[in-house]
């Protein structure tokens, strides 16, 4: 944006606004103007005032989005609204926005589930960046080892005992240290990965709900459906049918 330019939408918009600021800017949050650092993500709910800008030249990337599934994705992301969230770089926002743009401009039409899945992945990655930036100290290597074990294949039948053993800790010590390191419990982290995988698999209509459950790490399709509904406030079939 041009130097000295401030944008003000007193009534906001009917949609959510997800914005990545590449430069430091002044932002009105909860009635107070704050200087938000460069490489920060801010999410505005529908109907909330948008006011931001800077006296020097600044740049930003953004996305307007709406719908019940968007509401669920933002709630599930762990990111608080109307708060700046530090990001490692602009690369994450740029990558996902480019993928979302490519999907919604497809000649054959966009698949809403793909767009929704990309948004959910972007927000969760943004949450991880923000959590890492807020960490008071370096994450212990044993915690990174445990997380990498989950990331490598979240469909594996992990248990808290198995993950704790991989980190060389008791289950209670491991759970507490994992939460301090990553801002969530190990089982919740694993469940989030499985749910995101399931959302993407639901775009493949050749797969049954049972197939998707198994490929997402669940041996019981009924348990999978209950967890999916608790996570996204809708059933797998409702998510697939849009």
Residue-by-residue DSSP string for 116-149:
HHHHHHHHHHHHHHHHHHH-SSPPPHHHHHHHHH
Q: What is the pLDDT of residue 231?
A: 84
Position 126 in a domain? no
Same domain, 81 and 165: no
Q: What is the pLDDT of residue 176?
A: 93
Q: What is the pLDDT of residue 163?
A: 95
Same domain, 41 and 103: yes
Q: What is the pLDDT of residue 22?
A: 86
How far is Cα 110 from Cα 44, in angstroms, rounded to an integer? Answer: 24
Under a CB-based contact definition with an 8 Å cutoff, are residues 123 and 79 in contact?
Answer: yes
CATH of the domain at 217: 1.10.10.60
Same domain, 80 and 168: no
Distances (CA, A) of 54 to 64, 149, 239: 21, 43, 40
Collapsing DSSP to helix, strand or coil, 200 comes out as helix
Residue-by-residue DSSP string for 32-62:
EEEEEPSSEEEEE-TT--EEEE-SS---EEE
Q: What is the pLDDT of residue 75?
A: 86
Q: Which domain covers residue 205, as residue numbers?
A: 141-241
Q: What is the pLDDT of residue 196?
A: 84
For residue range 58-94, what is the model confidence (pLDDT) as tens digits? 888 899 999 888 888 898 888 999 999 988 777 788 8
234 has which bridge partners?
A: none
Same domain, 15 and 72: yes
Pairing state of beta strands 40-44 and 60-65? unpaired
Q: For residue 163, how far is the Cα from the chain centroid?
A: 23
How far is Cα 220 from Cα 42, in angstroms, rounded to an integer? Answer: 38
Q: What is the pLDDT of residue 55?
A: 80
Q: What is the pLDDT of residue 129?
A: 84
Q: What is the pLDDT of residue 1?
A: 52
Q: What is the pLDDT of residue 179?
A: 87
How far is Cα 242 from Cα 152, in angstroms, rounded to an integer? Answer: 30
Q: What is the pLDDT of residue 137?
A: 57
Same domain, 96 and 175: no
Position 117 in a domain? no
| Number of structural domains in the chain | 2
How wide is the angle at C-alpha 38 spanned by C-alphas 37 and 39, nearest 5°? 115
Same domain, 94 and 169: no
Stretches in the chain below the pLDDT threshold 70: 1-4, 134-137, 242
């Amino acid at each position: 944006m041009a130097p000295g330019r401030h944008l003000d939408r007193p009534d906001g918009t009917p949609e959510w606004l997800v914005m990545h600021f590449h430069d430091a800017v002044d932002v009105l949050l909860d009635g107070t103007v704050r200087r938000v650092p460069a490489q920060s993500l801010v999410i505005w709910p529908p109907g909330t005032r948008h006011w931001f800008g800077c006296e020097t030249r600044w740049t930003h990337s953004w996305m307007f989005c709406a719908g019940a599934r968007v509401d669920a994705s933002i709630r599930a992301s762990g990111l608080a609204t109307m708060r700046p969230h530090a990001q490692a770089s602009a690369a994450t926002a740029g990558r996902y926005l480019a993928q979302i743009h490519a999907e919604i401009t497809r000649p054959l039409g966009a698949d809403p589930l793909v767009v929704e899945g990309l948004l959910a992945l972007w927000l969760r990655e943004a949450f991880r960046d923000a959590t890492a930036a807020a960490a008071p100290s370096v994450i212990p290597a044993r915690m990174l080892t445990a997380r990498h074990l989950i990331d490598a294949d979240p469909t594996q039948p992990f248990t808290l005992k198995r993950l704790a053993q991989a980190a060389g800790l008791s289950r209670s010590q491991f759970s507490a240290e994992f939460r301090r390191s990553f801002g969530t419990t190990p089982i919740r982290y694993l469940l989030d990965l499985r749910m995101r995988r399931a959302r993407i698999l639901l775009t493949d209509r050749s797969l049954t709900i049972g197939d998707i459950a198994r490929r997402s790490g669940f041996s019981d399709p009924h348990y999978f459906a209950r967890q999916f509904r608790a996570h996204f406030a809708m059933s797998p079939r409702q998510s697939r049918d849009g």
